[in-house]
Amino acid sequence: MLGVKDKALLAQRYLLSRLPKRTFFSFVAPLRKCNLDCHYCYQIDMQPKCMSFEEFCDYAYNLRRIGVGVISFTGGEPMMWSHLSEAIRFTRTKKMIPHLNTNGTLLSQNALRSFAEEGLAGMMVSLDSIEAIPSSYKTLSHNPELLNLIHYAKSLGIITTCNAVLSKATAEGMPSLIERLDSEGIPISIGIFDAGTSIEAKRALGFNSETDLQLLANTVKSITSLKAQGAKIVEPTSYFLDYLDSQVSSSSWICQKAKLKSLAIGPSGQVLLCPRINTEIGFLNSSFKITSDMQKLAESRVAKCSPFCHSNCSYNSSYYQRHPFKTILGLASIKAI
Ligand code: SF4
Ligand code: SF4
């Protein structure tokens, strides 16, 4: 739940993060294990290291010190981490906003009640399709209780959004998924499948041939038309149109990870520029601060990956960093972001 004070805090941290060497958002991955095995995953390596609660408290303290306003728990699957509820509470005590990314398969009413009591503000639940598809278990067919649980989360004040990966396997069903969620009052965030994963996954899920690209163009047309009609789709229309353009010319967006406005923290406290490319820029200890050298490293690394990357999450943060007025309005209403 986000009260007026939370919104004011977010707006203040966001404005401060526009200063050099300040950051705003942090993904924290307490573990890299998951109970699923999606074909397109770049986030799991099943390494045994799991963050202890004491380590988390240390990292959270240091994130607060460098200006972070939001901690978003990710993984792997963060619901497999036994300290999640207490970590949500600790995040609140350090005056940061806790948010959860989950594949939704381990959600229950009890877990949601406990998260809400500890102060969870928002949740992003993966949902790729209504029908079963070969590349993902994150479908309503696999998890028929999911929408009821999302409504329950909303009734507890947890702002909940679904997240879908638009791939060759999900393209046809994407308009129906958007319409279904919209009819239930649940916003959707849509990321286009990226080639940053294995060749095998790219063959199975990427938009590779002329026919695939036509399928993508038709789906984008449906998505942008649904958005124009008012469907609650998180990404700006330009995300989808820029992706289509990038198939004929180089990508026109610049990933804000180059400015280190968001950081990803791994299970051992390693600070990653981005989990997709696993570039480490330091360790989150008491002397960690963002330096000019880190910024130079981030800029040169992003210059290499940005032309080929279509991460919706990074696109959105770039968009909102470029549109501060919309961001402040979005933070006030929590509709747009
Ligand atoms: S649910 Fe998420 S973390 Fe787990 S395998 Fe799928 S994409 Fe990876
Ligand atoms: S361009 Fe993509 S891969 Fe590179 S840092 Fe940004 S989000 Fe990560």
* Listed range (170-174, 204-208, 250-254) with the worst mean pLDDT: 250-254
Chain-centre distance for alpha carbon 217 = 24
pLDDT at 4: 83
Q: Who wins on pLDDT, 40 or 61?
A: 61
CATH number at residue 218: 3.20.20.70
Q: How confident is the model at residue 203 (pLDDT cuts 50, 70, 90)?
A: confident
Number of structural domains the chain divides into: 1
Q: How far apart are CA 307 and CA 309, in angstroms?
A: 6
Q: Rounded CA gap, 121 and 92, in Å?
A: 10
Whether 247 has a pLDDT exceeding 60, the answer reads yes
Handedness of CA 101, 103, 108, 109 (dihedral sign): positive
* Token pair listed for 306: 């940005």
Edge to edge, the sheet with strand 122-126 lists 188-192, 159-166, 122-126, 97-102, 70-73, 25-28, 262-265, 270-272, 280-283
CB 197 within 8 A of CB 32: no
Q: Residue 253's pLDDT is what?
A: 66
- For residue 225, what are its two tokens? 């038309």
Indicate if ligand 1 lies below 6 Å from the C-beta of 43.
Answer: yes
Number of the ligand 1 atom closest to the C-alpha atom of 74: 3
- The 10s digit of each residue's pLDDT in 143-182 is 999 999 999 999 999 999 999 999 999 999 999 999 999 9
pLDDT bin (cut points 50, 70, 90) of residue 263 is: very high
The answer to whether the CB of 160 falls within 8 A of the CB of 123 is yes
Average pLDDT score over residue span 245-251: 64
What is this structure's pTM? 0.92
Query: Sorting pLDDT into bands at 50, 70 and 90, what band is 293?
Result: very high
Residue-range definition of the domain harbouring residue 236: 4-333
pLDDT recorded at residue 328: 53
Structure tokens at 122: 């928002």
- Residue 335 is predicted with a pLDDT of 40
> pLDDT tens digits, residue range 301-337?
888 887 777 788 777 767 766 666 666 555 544 443 3
pLDDT digits (tens, 9 = 90+) for 52-73: 999 999 999 999 999 999 999 9
- Kindly give the distance from the C-alpha atom of residue 21 to the centroid of ligand 2, in angstroms, as a whole number: 19
How far, in Å, is the centroid of ligand 2 from the Cα of 103?
22
Asked if the model's pLDDT at residue 7 lies above 80, the reply is yes
CA–CA separation, 74 and 310 (whole Å) = 19
Q: How far is the CA of 81 from the centre of ligand 1 (A)?
A: 14
Mean pLDDT of all residues belonging to the chain: 88
Residue 292 C-alpha to ligand 1 middle, in angstroms? 34
Can you state the angle between helices 109-118 and 146-155, rounded to 10 degrees?
A: 30
Looking at the CA of 105, which ligand is closest?
Answer: 1
pLDDT of residue 139: 97
Q: pLDDT-derived band of residue 251, with 50, 70 and 90 as boundaries? A: low
DSSP classification of residue 76:
S
Name which residue leads in pLDDT, 278 or 303.
303
Determine if ligand 1 sits within 6 Å of the CB of residue 244.
Answer: no
Determine the pLDDT at residue 1: 66
CB 28 within 8 Å of CB 71: yes
97-149, pLDDT tens digit by residue?
A: 999 999 999 999 999 999 999 999 999 999 999 999 988 899 999 999 999 99
